[in-house]
């Protein structure tokens, strides 16, 4: 697979060099350059390679960007929003092209044309009409697909403009699009995350949601998913460029403003809907809501606060009532797994019939690998430093089922690693549970895991064998 990269500028220079050095026509020079670079293992994704498009100004993205600049004019305070619609639509069509290579080409041209800054400038100066603003936001969402474009958004002071717009346009559709744009431009961009938090954009989104909640699910459903995605992005440390991240600080700030309580309120609303709705039109929204809860549950205080407000009980009811809804089951188990880092949460899960629910979920989804791995992760979390939890799981019949699960998924290292970790947590402080695992043949399972998947599972399998009492655990 090609691993080297080349910029559009360097590619264009090589084409021109071939033309001048060897007297080639445009098509010949282009073909020769592509062949040379491919032989060298250079990745040409996103590079404009068609001769008729070698002039960037002829590309639809360049044309649309130039049209936007001309329509707004220098120093214009209120250009006609309707006149910008065709150019916005042209940009949107190009960056959302069906073919991946065409999308990459459009983004490459947009970077050179400065499309992000141009669109933002136009949106600031155009007459305020929600429909035109929404089209501009959609264009920015498409443009923000690369790290360079997300940086351009920050450099053009995009977050500040979004704060102004979210305060001016509070209709649900516009708010949903603004939240979606915030989620996209904050992905792997620490500067945008911090800016949205510092300016109070997150607070404004939260306030709008709080205002809509009393009106019922239909009033806020469209904005809920994107808002959850935005907040999850603000609290995720996914930008590899800065030495540190403020994700934890952002999570604490959101928690202090009551975001976990808002999510619990919404989950209570969703619990009041029918099973058909929760597995149908509301499934994706619920997944986003639970994902946002996981992203903010980053310390013991936040997790414990959620317990005190009755949050664990709500999640356990979802598992009881919606066992057939695998999307909800998987996301709920993943959320409980995250929350269970706190001892108070562990105790509450056990008190809320957690062991029997773990057994039921594991039995019901024994062939569904990702759900199995997730529920085993939940069991691992609630048994960490918790012998009472280990014994409760054993009493519910989970030991036999965990061993059976390992045998059924003996080709899946992720499941087997989680089995080993769960076994280790359950036996380390519970001699009786240790005996049950040995009776069910866990030693052979762990040794087989270590042999087949030494790289991924070696440490977990060795730790489990050691705590089962074997001296030759290495």
Measured CA to CA in angstroms, residue 240 lies from 144, 147, 179, 333 at distances of 18, 11, 23, 28
234-266 pLDDT per residue, tens? 999 999 999 999 999 999 999 999 999 999 999
The sign of the CA dihedral 464, 467, 473, 474 is positive
- Per DSSP, 298 falls in state -
| 8 A C-beta contact, residue 193 and residue 250 | yes
Alpha-carbon dihedral angle through residues 108, 109, 111, 117, given to the nearest 10 degrees? -150
Strand 4-5 vs strand 42-43: parallel, antiparallel, or unpaired?
Answer: parallel
End-to-end CA distance of the chain: 37
At what angle are helices 172-186 and 130-143 packed, to 10 degrees?
20
Gyration radius from the chain CA atoms: 27
Query: Which residues lie below 8 Å from residue 457, measured CB to CB, with a gap of 6+?
Result: 413, 416, 417, 420, 449, 450
223-237 pLDDT per residue, tens? 999 999 999 999 999
Residue 43 has a pLDDT of: 85
182-194 pLDDT per residue, tens? 999 999 999 999 9
Q: Phi, psi at residue 268, to the nearest 5°? A: -65, -40
Exposure of 69 by Cβ count < 10 A (0-12 exposed, 13-18 middle, 19+ buried)?
middle
Question: How many Å apart are CA 267 and CA 311, to the nearest integer?
Answer: 9
Residue 20 has a pLDDT of: 79
Which of the residue ranges 37-46, 111-120, 167-176, 463-472 would you say has the lowest mean pLDDT?
37-46
**Which stretch of DSSP H or E encloses residue 463?**
helix 454-467
Measured CA to CA in angstroms, residue 176 lies from 173, 185, 221 at distances of 5, 14, 9
37-80 pLDDT per residue, tens? 888 888 887 677 765 445 566 788 988 998 898 888 654 555 77
DSSP letters, 142-203, are HHTTSHHHHHHHHHTTHHHHHHHHHHH---HHHHHHHHHHHHHHHTT-HHHHHHHHHHTHHH
Residue 112: both structure tokens together: 């050179």
């Amino acid at each position: 697979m090609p691993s080297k990269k080349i910029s559009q500028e360097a590619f264009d220079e090589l084409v021109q060099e071939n033309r001048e050095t060897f007297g080639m026509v445009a098509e010949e020079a282009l073909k020769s350059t592509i062949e040379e670079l491919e032989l060298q293992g250079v990745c040409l994704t996103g590079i404009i390679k068609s001769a008729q498009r070698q002039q960037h100004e002829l590309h639809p993205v360049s044309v649309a960007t130039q049209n936007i600049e001309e329509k707004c004019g220098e120093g214009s305070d209120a250009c006609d929003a309707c006149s910008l619609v065709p150019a916005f639509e042209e940009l949107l069509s190009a960056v959302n092209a069906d073919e991946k290579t065409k999308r990459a080409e459009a983004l490459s041209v947009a970077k050179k044309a400065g499309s992000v800054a141009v669109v933002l400038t136009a949106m600031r100066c155009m007459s305020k009409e929600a429909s035109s603003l929404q089209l501009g936001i959609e264009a920015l969402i498409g443009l923000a697909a690369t790290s360079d474009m997300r940086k351009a958004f920050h450099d053009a002071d995009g977050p500040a403009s979004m704060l102004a717009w979210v305060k001016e346009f509070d209709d649900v559709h516009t708010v949903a699009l603004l939240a979606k744009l915030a989620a996209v431009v904050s992905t792997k961009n620490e500067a945008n995350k911090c800016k949205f938090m510092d300016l109070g954009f997150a607070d404004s989104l939260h306030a709008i949601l709080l205002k809509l909640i009393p009106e019922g699910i239909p009033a806020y459903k469209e904005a809920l998913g994107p808002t959850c995605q935005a907040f999850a992005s603000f609290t995720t440390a996914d930008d590899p460029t800065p030495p540190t991240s403020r994700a934890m600080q952002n999570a604490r700030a959101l928690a202090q403003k009551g975001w976990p309580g808002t999510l619990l309120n919404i989950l209570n609303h969703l619990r009041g809907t029918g099973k058909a709705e929760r597995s149908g039109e509301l499934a994706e929204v619920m997944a986003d809501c639970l994902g946002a809860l996981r992203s903010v549950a980053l310390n013991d205080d936040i997790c414990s606060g959620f317990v005190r407000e009755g949050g664990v009980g709500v999640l356990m009811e979802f598992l009881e009532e919606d066992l057939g809804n695998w999307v909800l089951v998987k996301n709920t188990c993943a959320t409980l797994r995250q929350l269970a880092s706190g001892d108070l949460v562990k105790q509450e899960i056990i008190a809320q019939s957690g062991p029997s629910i773990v057994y039921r979920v594991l039995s019901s989804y024994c062939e569904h690998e990702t759900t199995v791995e997730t529920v085993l992760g939940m069991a691992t979390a609630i048994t960490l430093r918790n012998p009472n939890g280990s014994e409760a799981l054993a009493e519910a019949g989970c030991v036999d089922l965990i061993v059976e699960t390992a045998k059924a998924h003996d080709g899946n290292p992720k499941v087997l690693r989680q089995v080993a970790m769960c076994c280790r947590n359950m036996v380390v402080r519970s001699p009786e549970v240790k005996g049950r695992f040995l009776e069910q043949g866990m030693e052979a399972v762990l040794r087989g895991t270590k042999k087949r998947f030494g790289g991924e599972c070696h440490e977990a399998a060795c730790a489990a064998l050691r705590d089962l009492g074997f001296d030759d655990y290495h």
